[in-house]
A and B are shown apart, each in its own frame.
Chain A
Amino acid sequence: MVVPILKQSDVLIASIQAALTDADLLQLRDDLLAKVGQYRSRGVVIDVTALDVMDSFATRTLRSIAEAARLRGARTVIVGIQPEVAITMVQLGLVLGAVSTALDLEEGLELLGALNRKDAPGG
């Protein structure tokens, strides 16, 4: 299951459509990091609304995408974590660390705008 990545001005939007295997998650990581360079993106939004499970591997991979994208100059926001998934992550002891999250795509794009304005010289 390849995750489609859309480019919208200086932001990449990865919309996960269905359950992902560990290999799919690693593919998403590599694709996103390559595209950040290719399109000179300043932000990445990963929409996980369709994920019914966020286990330790998925969480770790999303965290590493966000950290690596940051090293490439792009901010990442994870959006769409479902309520049951959030409850489960808390019980499992999973944390996203410094990774930003937002309720949905719209809020995620807004947050990215705010984060990048804050980062801008003189901002």
Chain B
Amino acid sequence: MVDEAREGLEGELLVPIERDPDVVTARQKGREMAVEAGLSGSDLTLIATAISEVARNILVYAGHGEIILRQLERNGRRGVCVIARDEGPGIQDIPLAMQDGYSTGRSLGLGLPGAKRLMDDFEIVSEVGKGVTVTMMKWRR
């Protein structure tokens, strides 16, 4: 399980999301990277939970994809960047998908809007038929 999370570029980690246990691997790896970036306390849980939501979305809507974890440093401030990427059907209506309680899958419809609330920066890009890329960041306080 852990072996599947292979090192990408320096300080970057790619976790393939293909099966259920990969969601757990992704959030554990995200938590570890957040610790390395100097984040602590409830921020670690916030990041791990946000990763869990976007990783599950990949499985439910696209079948497979990947989570890329990166350490950040901007103006002396450290943080973590999480990119969730798939090549699934994409999202027709992003504002609708970002509404609390809206779901076309098996969820509570809190995945994307919830993840956005947990992170500092959140961006979603999608092209119908080509997939979804969610980029989110959390900075050290």
Contact = CB atoms under 8 A, between A and B. Distances in A.
B92 interface: no
Q: Which residue of A54, A60, A84 has the most chain B CB atoms within 10 A of its CB atom?
A: A84
Interface residues of A, number: 23
B20 A92 contact: no
A3 interface: no
B23 interface: yes
Interface in B24-51: 24, 27-28, 31, 41-42, 44-46, 48-49
B62 to A, nearest CB: 16
A91 B47 CA distance: 12
A88 interface: yes
B23 A21 contact: yes
B71 interface: no
B118 A52 contact: no
Contact of A91 (B21, B27, B118): B118
Give chain A's interface secondary structure class: helix
B45 A53 contact: yes
Nearest to A83: B42
B114 A23 contact: no
B52 A53 contact: yes
Interface in B94-114: 100, 107-108, 110-111, 113-114
A22 B56 contact: yes
Given A52-B45, A55-B52, A88 B118 contact: yes
B24 A52 contact: no
Q: Which residue of B49, B52, B110, B117 has the most chain A CB atoms within 10 A of its CB atom?
A: B49
B44 A84 contact: yes
A84 B49 CA distance: 11
Interface of B: 20-21, 23-24, 27-28, 31, 41-42, 44-46, 48-49, 52-53, 56, 100, 107-108, 110-111, 113-114, 117-118
25 contacts: A19-B24, A21-B23, A21-B24, A22-B56, A52-B31, A52-B45, A53-B48, A53-B52, A55-B52, A55-B56, A56-B114, A57-B56, A84-B41, A84-B45, A87-B42, A88-B45, A88-B118, A91-B117, A92-B53, A92-B114, A92-B118, A93-B100, A93-B110, A94-B108, A94-B110
